[in-house]
């Protein structure tokens, strides 16, 4: 976060600026994702 007082100095105002950084790294934990399948995923009937 920062304050920029020189941008609007003609009207005695300041500009507040808030910023954030984000990154996406898909291959960092390659074994952390999996596909769940098999007979345990079948919905049981009769209950």
Q: pLDDT at position 31, please?
A: 65
Query: For the segment 1-47, what is each residue's pLDDT rounded down to a tens digit?
Result: 888 888 787 888 888 999 888 888 777 666 666 777 877 777 777 76
The total number of structural domains in the chain stands at 1
Query: For the segment 5-15, what is each residue's pLDDT rounded down to a tens digit?
Result: 887 878 888 88
Q: pLDDT at position 18, please?
A: 92
**CA torsion 3→8→13→16, rounded to 10°?**
-30
Residue 22 lies in a domain: yes
Q: Which two tokens stand for residue 20?
A: 């954030």
Output the 3-class SS for the chain: CEEECCCCHHHCCCEEECCCCCCCCCCCCHHHCCCCCCHHHCCCCCC
Residue 34 lies in a domain: no
Q: Is the pTM of this model over 0.85?
A: no
Domain interval for residue 13? 1-28
Chain position carrying tokens 């003609």: 10
Residue 38 lies in a domain: no
Question: What is the Cα 28 distance to its own chain's centre?
Answer: 16
């Amino acid at each position: 976060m920062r304050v920029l007082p020189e941008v609007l100095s003609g009207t005695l105002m300041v500009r507040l600026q808030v910023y954030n950084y984000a990154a996406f790294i898909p291959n960092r934990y390659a074994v952390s994702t999996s596909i769940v399948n098999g007979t345990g995923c079948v919905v049981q009937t009769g209950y």
